[in-house]
Structure 1
Amino acid sequence: MSTIISITVILLVTLPASLSVLHTRPEDAKLNFTELGIKYGHSVEEHDVVTEDGYILTLFHIPGKRSQSILLIHGIFDSADTFIIRGQLSLVLTMANKGYDVWAGNTRGNKYGRRHTYLDPDTDAEFWDFSLHEAGYYDLAAIVDFVLEWTDEKSIRTIGHSQGTSAHFVLLSTRPEYNKKIKGFIALAPVAFLNNLIPPVSTVTEVGPVINKFLKSLGIEELLRDQSAARELIELICSQGIISYDLCYILANSPFLGFDSKRIEPDFWEVITGHCPAATSRKSLVHFDQIALSKRFANYDYGTLENFRRYKVLVPPSYNLGKITTNISLIVGQNDLLSRVKDVNNLKSLLPREPKYHLMEPILWNHVDFVWANDMDVYLYPYIFSSLEDFE
C-alpha cells in the first residue's frame, strides 16, 4: 500500500505544468462558507464568539424564523463548511430554504477558529493544548450561549456530526445546566465509545502512542494546517482527474470511513478537498486514541501524577452520561467504521432518557455520507426534520 501511494505521489508531482493547469478545480472548492451562502442565494452573517479561555471562533448565521433556530457543529478535521459545500443539497441550505434560522459553528483549531485573545497559533504551543473536551466544555457552551442571547430564546435545537456529537456529550455531562439550553440534539454518526473498531482503524489506534511520540519529538502540535504542504499535497493528489479520484477515495476514505463511492462523485470530491481536512491539534487525536484503547468515554489522560492534580484521582474519570437529560436522536450508519453500531448501542443504553434511534437504510451508508452524500435528501433529511419537529 505504501509503495502504491509513493509511486502515485511521484507521478502526480512530476506532471507537466501544462497538464496540471488544464484541470481547473470547481469554484465551490475555492469559496468559503459566506461566499457559498451568497452564491446559492442567501445572506450570511459572521459573528465572533469568544470562549471563556480566550479562543475566538467564527459563527455563521443565515437568518430565518427566530423560533426555528438550529445550530450545527462539525466533526474533527472539519469546519462549518462541511454543512454547505453540497450547495442546494447541503443541510445548511436545505434548512435555510425551509425558513429555519440556521447557525453553523466552528470549534477551535480550524481556519475559522485559529484566533485567540492573547495566544498566537504560529508561535505558542499552548494554543494547541486542546482536545474534544475543550470543544464541548468551552466552544460549544460559548456558541450556544451566543445564539440564545442573539435570538432571545431560552433553548435551541442542535445537530452534531462525529466529534460534534462528542462535544455535545462532553458539554451535557460536565455542565448539566446546558440540558435546559439544548432542547433537542440530533447526533449524526455519534462518537462516544470506540470499543468495537476493526482494522485498519483499530490498527491505527494501537500504534497511536508511537505516532504521538514521534509527532511530539518533532514539536508538531498543529495537524494539517490550511495552506500547509500536507494540505496542498492532498489537494494535488485528489484533483488530477478520475484516476487520482479513485486513488484518493480508496486510500483516504474507504479504509477508515467505509467504502461507498457512489454517494461522492469525482467532481464533488474535488470540492471536498478544497475544504477538508481542516486543521486540528495533535492532542485531539491522542484523546480519541485514549478513548479507543481504554474502552472508556473519559477525560484526557495526562498520566498518573497530573491526573491526580487535575482530577483528584489517578485515572481520568469517565464522562457521566447519566447527567444527560435533553432529547436526543441517534442516527447511525451500518457501514460507518468510526461510529460503530455496537458502540452507539452502548451509548444508547447509558443515557437516562430513551433517545430516538435510527439506523440508516442504505447498507453502505458511511461516516461522511451524513454530510456529503448525494442522496441525503432521500435517506437522511426526512428523519432529521421529523426529529426537529418532535423537539419543538
Structure 2
Amino acid sequence: MRSDSPRKVDFTVTITPNQEPQVLLPGNHQLETWEKWLEVSRAVAYFFGSLLFLFGSIFFYPEYSAKWNGNAVVFASWGFVIGCIYFFAGANLDFIQSIRYNHGTQLRQVLRAFTALCNYMAASTFVLGALYFLPSWYPKSPELGCWAFINGCILFCIGAIVEILFICTTHGDPRVSGFRITNMFCWGAAATLSTLVSSVFFIIGSWFYLPEYINRADDGTHYMNTAITFYVLGSVCFVVNSCVLALVFATTTQIFSLRTPLILLLGLVLLATTTTTVHSLDQATQVEEVELDPDVGKSTVELIQARGYAVETHNVTTADGYILTLHRLPMSYAETQSGESAAANKTTILLMHGLLDSSFSWVCNFRNQSFAFVLADAGYDVWLGNNRGNTYSDRHIKYTTEDDAFWDFSWEDMGRFDLPAMLNHALEVSGRDTLALVGHSEGTTQAFVAFSENQTLAQSVSYFAALVPVAWLGHTKAKALKFVAKIYLDKIFDVLGQVEFLSQNEVLQEIIGASACTLNPQLCETALALVSGDSENWNSSRVAVYLSEMPAGTSVKNMAHYAQSIRKDTFSAYNYDCSCLRPLGLKLCSKLICKNKAKYGSFDPPAFPVANVKYPRTGFFRGENDILATSVDIDQLRTAMPLSTVVYDETISDFSHMDFTWAVNANDKVYQSVLEQLEAYAGVGY
C-alpha cells in the first residue's frame, strides 16, 4: 500500500568561492627553471644583438668593406639585420616580463610597461632600418634606414629616461615618499645609462650617414667614417649594457652553475671587442700622434698673460645679487712690454660673449686674430664681460651653484641686470661718459632686451656692433637647436629637476680638448657645425683649445627661453605657460593654472618693445653661412627697430656663426670694418 505522506530528505549545499587568479606575480615570486632560462635568454639576445652591431659597424668601414671580394659589406648589412632581430626578441621578452610582475605601485607598473613598450617599438623600427641597409634594399630609399635608426634610438632614449624614473621611484606613494636619487647607484642604472649613451651615438652616426653627407664629392668619405665611428662607439656601449644585464640576471635567477663561467666569458668577449674596436678606429681614421697645443686648458687671464698683455680682474654685483667677473686689458702690447703707463683718454669698449661662451672667446686665438688684442693694440681700453652662470660668473651673494634658485635665470635677466651692471662699472672705472659695445650672439640678445627697456642706458653707448644678432629665431636652420626645441628637451630637464646646462667640467673637457679634438679635430668641427654652420675659416689645430673652455655653462631656463623663441617665433619675456580657456577671459583665469597671469597679468608674456630702440647707433654684421642667426630672422629684427637706428649692415661672405670669434681671418673680414665704425662714432653723443 502506497503512503501519500511526503518523504523527508536531508541534504546540504556547500558553495566554495572561486579563487581570483593572480594576475601579476609578486616581486618575491620564486622563479621556475623555465622562467630562469627565459631571463637569461633575454640577456643573451641583447648580448648577441649588440655584438653583431659591433662587427657589422666595423665592416662598414671602407677599408674593411672591400674584403672578401667586396662581400664584407653584405656581411655587415646582415649583421645589422640579425642583430636587430635579436634585439626584437629581447624586447619581446622584456615586454612579457614587465606585464607578468607586480612592481609595487601603479606608477611603477605604468613606468615599467611604458619602458618595455618604447623598447619594443624601437627594436621593431631597428629591424626596418637594418633591412634598408642591405645592398639590395638601400638604393630603394637611401634615407629610410638612417631615419628608422634615428627614430628607434629616440624611442630607446625615452625608454631609458623612463626607466631611470622607475629606478628612482620608491615602492611607496611617490607623492609622499618622493623619488630617491640614491637608487641610481645600482647595476640596473648602469645598464640603462649605457643604453642612453648608445642611442645618442647611434643617432649621431645615422645623421651623418644620410645621403646628403656621405655622397658629397669633397668630404663624403670623412662623413662616412665619422658616422661609422659613432656606430662602433654605440655598439660598444650596447655590449656593455648587455654584459651588465647578464650579470644582473645571473645573480637574480641564482643560476650559480652558470654565473662564474658567464662572467668570465662576457669579460673576455668585452676585452676582445674593445681591442677590436680600438684597432678598427685606429685603422679607419689613420690618426697620427699629435703634440698637444700648450693653450689647451688655459683660462682667459692665462691666455692674455701668455700673449704679453697686462690684465686686470674686476668683480661687480648685479641688482639681483649675482657676482660677475670682468677682464680688462688697459694697455696695448707695446705699452705692456715697454713698461710705460697706459695712454690717457682711451675709448672704452665692452665685449659681450655668446651662448655657452665666456670672455675666453675674445682672446682664444693669436694676437692678430683675437678681437680683444686687436682692439687693445688699436688704443682701446678693452673690457671683457661674463654673464651669470658661466665659468667666471658662478657666484651669488645668497646662493651657491648647488641651489636651484641660482639657476633661475634666462637671457632677459642678463639684459636687465648683467649688462647694465658691467657697462656702468666699466664707465665708472674708466671715468668716461660713453663707451662702445660689441656683442656676439647672446651678447646681442641681452643688449636688445636692455635697450628696449632702458633708453637712458642706451644713450651711454656711442656705438653697438651686433655680430650675428639674435632676437627672433623662428627661421633658424641649426638642426641641433631645432631638434632640442622640437622634442621639448627643456621640459624633460624640468621634470628631471635639472637646472644647470653644460657647465664646465674640467675632467670631461680635458678629455675632449686634450684627447678627442687633438687627435681628430675634423670630428669636433663636424659636431660644432650642427649648431654654427660649416666653416673653412677655423684653425683646426685650435679646436681643442676652444673646446677646453667651451661650453662654459648656463641655465636650463636660458636654453628653454631660446627654445621658446624657436617654437613660437617671438622675442618675448619667458613663457611660464597658461592653461586657461581664453574665450572665458582673463578674469576667470586662475593664477594656479596660468603662471603668466601671476607673473605678467596676461595670458602670454609681453614682447620686448624693440621699436623703442632709438639708441644706440647699431651696426649689423651677418654671416653668409650662419645657420643659427639667419638673414630672415635678422631682417625681422631690423624691420621692428626704428629705421635710423641701424647705421651699418654687412654680410660677411663664407662666415658661419662661430667664425666671428674663432676664424683666423676674422680680423681682415670683420674686425677692421668694426674698427672703422667705432672710430667714426667714438665719444659722439646724442
Query: Does the alignment reach a TM-score above 0.5?
Result: yes
In the TM superposition, what are the counterparts of 1:116-131 in structure 2 within 5 Å? 116-121=396-401, 123-131=402-410
Give the drift of 1:32: 1.0
Corresponding residue for residue 259 of structure 1: 534
Distance in structure 2 (CA, Å) of the matches to 1:218 and 1:187: 36
Letter in 1 for 2:517: S
Look up the SS of the partner of 1:288 in the other structure.
Answer: helix
Look up the SS of the partner of 2:561 in the other structure.
Answer: helix
Give the drift of 1:334: 1.3
Give the drift of 1:190: 0.3
Distance in structure 1 (CA, Å) of the matches to 2:453 and 2:650: 28
Selected match of 1:245 from 516, 521, 529: 521
Letter in 1 for 2:496: L
1:380 aligns with 2:605: no
Look up the SS of the partner of 2:350 in the other structure.
Answer: strand
Partner deviation per Cα, 1:250-305 (whole Å, 9 max, x = no partner): 1x222221111x21122111111111111111011100111111111100001122
- Answer whether contact 2:625 2:656 (CA < 8 A) is retained: yes
Give the drift of 1:67: 3.5
Give the drift of 1:66: 3.7
Letter in 2 for 1:226: Q
Look up the SS of the partner of 1:239 in the other structure.
Answer: helix
Corresponding residue for residue 601 of structure 2: 312
Look up the SS of the partner of 1:46 in the other structure.
Answer: strand
Corresponding residue for residue 391 of structure 1: 681
Structure 2 CA distance for partners of 1:228 and 1:207, relative to 1, 3 Å: farther
Distance in structure 2 (CA, Å) of the matches to 1:208 and 1:328: 35
Distance in structure 2 (CA, Å) of the matches to 1:233 and 1:184: 41
Give the drift of 1:46: 0.1
Partner deviation per Cα, 1:136-159 (whole Å, 9 max, x = no partner): 111001001101111121211100
Partner deviation per Cα, 1:110-145 (whole Å, 9 max, x = no partner): 110101111010x21010001111111110010011
Corresponding residue for residue 7 of structure 1: 232
Structure 2 CA distance for partners of 1:7 and 1:41, relative to 1, 3 Å: same
Give the drift of 1:214: 2.0
Look up the SS of the partner of 1:285 in the other structure.
Answer: helix
In the TM superposition, what are the counterparts of 1:224-303 in structure 2 within 5 Å? 224-227=502-505, 231=509, 234-235=512-513, 238-241=516-519, 244-250=520-526, 252-260=527-535, 262-303=536-577
1:359 aligns with 2:650: yes
In the TM superposition, what are the counterparts of 1:181-196 in structure 2 within 5 Å? 181-196=460-475
Give the drift of 1:58: 0.7
Structure 2 CA distance for partners of 1:105 and 1:40, relative to 1, 3 Å: same
Look up the SS of the partner of 2:390 in the other structure.
Answer: coil
Number of residue pairs aligned between Structure 1 and Structure 2? 382
- Answer whether contact 1:136 1:166 (CA < 8 A) is retained: yes
Distance in structure 2 (CA, Å) of the matches to 1:301 and 1:337: 25
In the TM superposition, what are the counterparts of 1:40-189 in structure 2 within 5 Å? 40-64=307-331, 65-88=344-367, 89-121=369-401, 123-189=402-468
> Higher mean Cα deviation, 367-376 or 224-233?
224-233
Give the drift of 1:237: 6.2
Structure 2 CA distance for partners of 1:237 and 1:249, relative to 1, 3 Å: farther
Distance in structure 2 (CA, Å) of the matches to 1:199 and 1:58: 30
Distance in structure 1 (CA, Å) of the matches to 2:481 and 2:391: 29
- Answer whether contact 1:335 1:365 (CA < 8 A) is retained: yes
Which stretches in structure 1 are left out of the alignment for 5+ residues?
none
State which structure, 1 or 2, has the greater radius of gyration over its C-alpha atoms: 2
Structure 2 CA distance for partners of 1:155 and 1:57, relative to 1, 3 Å: same
1:219 aligns with 2:497: yes
Which of the two has greater helix per residue? 2
Distance in structure 2 (CA, Å) of the matches to 1:222 and 1:66: 41
Partner deviation per Cα, 1:224-247 (whole Å, 9 max, x = no partner): 121266545543664342xx2111
Distance in structure 2 (CA, Å) of the matches to 1:138 and 1:6: 45
Letter in 2 for 1:310: K
Q: Percent identity?
A: 29
Which of the two has greater strand per residue? 1
- Answer whether contact 2:478 2:627 (CA < 8 A) is retained: no
Letter in 2 for 1:74: H
Look up the SS of the partner of 1:58 in the other structure.
Answer: strand
Give the drift of 1:15: 6.0
RMSD: 2.3
Look up the SS of the partner of 1:358 in the other structure.
Answer: strand
Look up the SS of the partner of 1:29 in the other structure.
Answer: coil
- Answer whether contact 2:486 2:567 (CA < 8 A) is retained: no
Structure 2 CA distance for partners of 1:213 and 1:69, relative to 1, 3 Å: same
Distance in structure 2 (CA, Å) of the matches to 1:231 and 1:219: 24
Structure with greater contact order relative to length (CA < 8 Å, sep ≥ 6) = 1
Give the drift of 1:183: 1.9
Give the drift of 1:26: 1.3
Give the drift of 1:25: 2.8
Distance in structure 2 (CA, Å) of the matches to 1:117 and 1:45: 22
